[in-house]
Structure formats: C-alpha cells, structure tokens
Amino acid sequence: MRLRLLLCATVLLGTAGCGGGQAKEPATTAPASISVTSQAFREGGSIPRKYTCDGDDVSPPLAWKNVPQNAGALAVVVDDPDAPRGTFTHWVLLDLEPTTTSLAEGETPPGARQAKNSAGGAKYYGPCPPSGTHHYRFTIYALSEATALPNGADLEEALNAIDDRTLTRGRLTGLFSR
C-alpha cells in the first residue's frame, strides 16, 4: 500500500501513472450493441472497495451478451476519463475467445494477454482516484480479428489495435471516490 501511495504521489508530480496517461479511448464511433453487466455493481453504481486500490485490487466479475457472430476476438478496456491529466487506462485485456461471455472476479482467461496500463504494468490496476468521484468505464470490444500483440504490449499500440479492429462495443460504468 505504501508503494502504491508513493507511485500515486509521484504521478501527481508529473510522471506517468495514477494522474492520467492521456490514452485515447478506442472505437468511439463503433456501434454500442453489446450489453455489459456485473454482479458487483450496477450501471452508474458504486464500485465496491474490494475492486479498488483500497481493497484487494482484483478485477470485478463481468458478463456480456450480443457479441456479433463474426467477431474474431474480444478485448476489455477499463479506463477513467476523469483523471487529472487525461484518461487513465487501468486495464487492457486482449484477444479473448469471441465465445467468451463473462470474466470471473480476478480472472485472465487462458490465451488472453494483458497490455500495459497507464501505470506501466500489464495487469489490472483498480480504481484509485486522487480525489473526488471518478467514472470507471468497463468496455467490451468485439474485434474482427485477434490483435496478436504479446503480453505486456505498449498501451498506445494495444489501444490502436483495438480501434482498428472493433466491430461493436458495450460498456458498464461504475463510480468510486476516496
């Protein structure tokens, strides 16, 4: 916890991390036909502490439906558009099988890969706002084909690959404040 607070403090002084990474949101014009839910929180509801930097810092359970039959892969992006220095990306999960319809708490399915987040780690980095209430977007992307990027791929490269391949998307937004 101390190390995490130090990292966040460093970010607020201007380096990459909790304060924002100015990552762009992929596929903003793609149709939003995928329905995304969670057993942990509802749309616009509070994200339980367990799934944040103040708790166990594990990804919440997610479920979705209405993925098009022609999808070649899925991707998951969790980001915070309210971060002080621009959108902060908390998690990028790439190349899930297109038949996947859910993720259990803390799950990274076999074969899926994680790109680097705005803090530089290839893992889930739970909500950790410096102040105020932030919106956390859990977005599922149906891709035309797998990205084939390696585990630990560069954030910008991963988001661009998602942007280039998105057929449709869906989103669940949760709130968290400290």
pLDDT value at residue 5: 41
* CA-to-CA dists, residue 161 to 51, 75, 166, angstroms: 27, 10, 9
pLDDT the model gives residue 24 = 85
Which SS3 state, helix, strand or coil, does residue 161 take? helix
Low-confidence ranges of the chain (pLDDT < 70): 1-22
pLDDT at res. 22: 66
pLDDT at 10: 37
